[in-house]
Amino acid sequence: MEKKMTIVYKVHQNAYVNLTNRCSSACTFCLRQNRDRVGESDSLWLDHEPSLEEVKEAFAQQDMSQYQEVVFCGFGEPTERWEVLLQVAKFVKETYHMPIRLNTNGQGNLINQRDITPDMKGLIDTISISLNTPNEEKYNAIVRSEFGDKAFSAMLSFVKEAKAYVPNVILSTVATTITTEEEEQCAKICADLGVTYRIRPWED
Ligand code: SF4
């Protein structure tokens, strides 16, 4: 594993932010298991977790006019660095006035041991949370969260709480990893929760 300091990197037309390599999950399908990079990045394995100043410097080196959205998503779970993430989001809003998305495993309240969803108000425009499967038992087997069997219900509670503070709430599964019937069950869960269901490609 080659370690670099790729903090901001391009995926499609968006600027992705890589804040940490820590993650409360160990998903069986995680891209990190067999590759070092995503999109137009170099290695996403970090030498150390970047400070707010280092993140600002990384943004300063980018031509931000080429991007449509800033996305917190790297080789780790962004809510593991919640306080820095909020500071970066505030900086992005004030400096670039761009929409911000958070891609997360939905375990942020467990990770931070409090309800972090109110913090997102006015900063996060879209949140994409990994549902992975409609079945709790299967979720536990696939996601292998350090929070064990608390993770699935906590993730769904996180979705419900986030709806009050984030305009666009998306629950996602990864294409080809579950059956069509399971995808229909996921669509029903999303309809019941009043959020958008998205089947996403591996790299997104
Ligand atoms: S939540 Fe994301 S980063 Fe963490 S193990 Fe799963 S796929 Fe990998």
pLDDT digits (tens, 9 = 90+) for 20-71: 999 999 999 888 887 887 877 788 999 999 999 999 999 999 999 999 999 9
Ligand 1 centre from 68 Cα, in Å?
24
CATH H-level, domain 5-200: superfamily: Aldolase class I (3.20.20.70)
Residue of higher predicted confidence among 163 and 37: 163
Residues 23, 42: Cα–Cα separation, whole Å = 20
The pLDDT score that the predictor gives to residue 40 is 79
C-alpha distances in Å from residue 202, one per residue of 133, 149, 175: 15, 25, 7
Ligand 1 centre from 26 Cα, in Å?
6
Residues 92, 8: Cα–Cα separation, whole Å = 12
The pLDDT score that the predictor gives to residue 64 is 97
The pLDDT score that the predictor gives to residue 192 is 97
Ligand 1 proximity of 23 Cβ (cutoff 6 Å) = yes
- Ligand 1, atom 6: closest residue by C-alpha: 27
The pLDDT score that the predictor gives to residue 31 is 85
Residues 153, 135: Cα–Cα separation, whole Å = 11
Ligand 1 centre from 25 Cα, in Å?
6
Pseudo-torsion of CA 127, 133, 134, 139, nearest 10°?
A: -100
The pLDDT score that the predictor gives to residue 50 is 97
The pLDDT score that the predictor gives to residue 32 is 84
What ranges do the domains of the chain cover? 5-200
- Ligand 1, atom 3: closest residue by C-alpha: 76
Using a cut of 0.75, tell me whether the model's pTM lies above it.
yes
Ligand 1 centre from 104 Cα, in Å?
8
Task: State pLDDT tens for residues 106-142.
Answer: 999 999 999 999 999 999 999 999 999 999 999 999 9
DSSP-based three-state secondary structure for 63:
coil
